[in-house]
Structure 1
Amino acid sequence: MSLEDNSIAERHACYYLTFNVVDWIDIFVKPVFKQIIVESLNHFIAKKGLTVHAWCLMTNHLHLIAQTKQGFGLSLLADDFKKFTTKIILEDIVAEPEIRRNWVMKKFEEASIAMKLLDKFQVWQTPVNSVYIDLHDEDMMNEKIDYIHYNPVRDRIVSHAEDYLHSSARDYIGIKGLVNVSIADEKLGSTSIIRYMSSYRR
């Protein structure tokens, strides 16, 4: 079941989401652009009814395990998040001394033309990649959380998942991270999450 075709009753379900930058452009290398995502996630959590159970920001994509509170549809919220972050990213590309500025802006413009969109620039690919997660399926939830948190390890950025600042891995071992996540043990139960946490530093 995709995010786009879910029923009204399932709009508040939990999904594993991936937001990809067009042409896999490495936007999230500089701290200023990483901070845009951190602040935007916290804004949507505080003001827009978003619940984030896990996240990881890589150089050209963002992974989330998320759902929404009653009254908020996740598909519309994902679109809103893309629009919200696009505006700030474009503003900062223009304002920051970005060496690749002209090249990046041209790529964003070409992507918008290729997708036949009204906006002049397109930062995110569309649609958002989504996989439904059954909150009662502990193995599936742990598998997705594991996959998200070990992205930086697989890419050899860090040796241990919790050493990567721009993810929720450290939240799952009791260290407060950058984003106000809701730890999945609220849904899975303490036994599952203790088993998951014990797998770190292996």
Structure 2
Amino acid sequence: MSEKYKAGDTEGIYFVTISVIQWADVFTRRDYCEIICNSLAYCQKEKNLTLYAWCIMTNHLHLICSSPVLPNIMRDFKKYTSKELYKAIKQNPQESRKGWLLWLINAAGEQSSKHEEYKFWQPGYHPILLHDNQTMEQKLAYLHHNPVKAGFVEEPEQWYYSSARDYAGEKGRLEVVLLE
């Protein structure tokens, strides 16, 4: 992996992107999004993750976050959510795409270098150090406008699975530290 995409500054604030394998649109169901939110809340409470902004899209999520142990948190977060999402898809009687999603996740696991039973997330988490206010503002705007650009909502704060509500002065789904 390139040095460009490693979280080396333990005090830095990072823009992070985590993507579903094959960009599969998994997060179209509320219960799957809740698994992500609950896991992020756990990481905030128990693993020293500071969350400044976040947004769950249909096939990826963006975070602006910091932690002295960010690589470990991302590893654990991906491992845990992978198991929980796989189980949720498998056990969901309303999941019309169950066969296809399980096939995709299982095939990705078989093709991985570790030959796992399944693989939910693409490798890495693409951390970008936000080294100045301009970069921070640009990534924050990008993150919050993602659902608008995708045509899901007209205003960023209308997207429930995002911190845009917090930045609009409303109460959001997760606790965030607002960037000034």
Instruction: Tell me whether the two structures share a fold, i.e. TM-score over 0.5.
Output: yes
Specify the alignment match of 2:82 in structure 1.
86
**For the residues of structure 2 that align with 1:77 and 1:104, how far apart are their CA atoms?**
26
Report how far residue 115 of structure 1 moved.
2.0
Specify the alignment match of 2:127 in structure 1.
130
Match for 2:140 among 138, 145, 154? 145
| 1:12-161 equivalent positions in 2, closer than 5 A | 12-68=11-67, 72-97=68-93, 98-134=95-131, 137-161=132-156
Report how far residue 90 of structure 1 moved.
1.2
User: What SS class does the counterpart of residue 150 from structure 1 fall into?
Assistant: helix
CA contact (8 A) 1:3 1:75 kept: no
Specify the alignment match of 1:4 in structure 2.
6
Give the letter aligned to residue 85 of structure 2: I
User: What percent identity do the matched residue pairs reach?
Assistant: 33
User: What SS class does the counterpart of residue 160 from structure 2 fall into?
Assistant: coil
Specify the alignment match of 1:188 in structure 2.
none
CA contact (8 A) 2:7 2:128 kept: no
Report how far residue 118 of structure 1 moved.
4.4
CA contact (8 A) 2:21 2:122 kept: yes
**For the residues of structure 2 that align with 1:130 and 1:139, how far apart are their CA atoms?**
17
Number of corresponding residues: 177
Query: Gaps (5+ residues) in structure 2?
Result: none
Give the letter aligned to residue 91 of structure 1: K
Deviation beyond 6 Å, 4+ runs, structure 1: none
TM norm structure 1: 0.83
**For the residues of structure 2 that align with 1:54 and 1:88, how far apart are their CA atoms?**
23
Match for 1:163 among 144, 155, 158? 158
**For the residues of structure 1 that align with 2:4 and 2:85, how far apart are their CA atoms?**
27
TM norm structure 2: 0.93
Q: Deviations over 1:74-94 (max 9, x none)?
A: 111111110111111011112
**For the residues of structure 1 that align with 2:48 and 2:115, how far apart are their CA atoms?**
28
User: What SS class does the counterpart of residue 127 from structure 1 fall into?
Assistant: coil
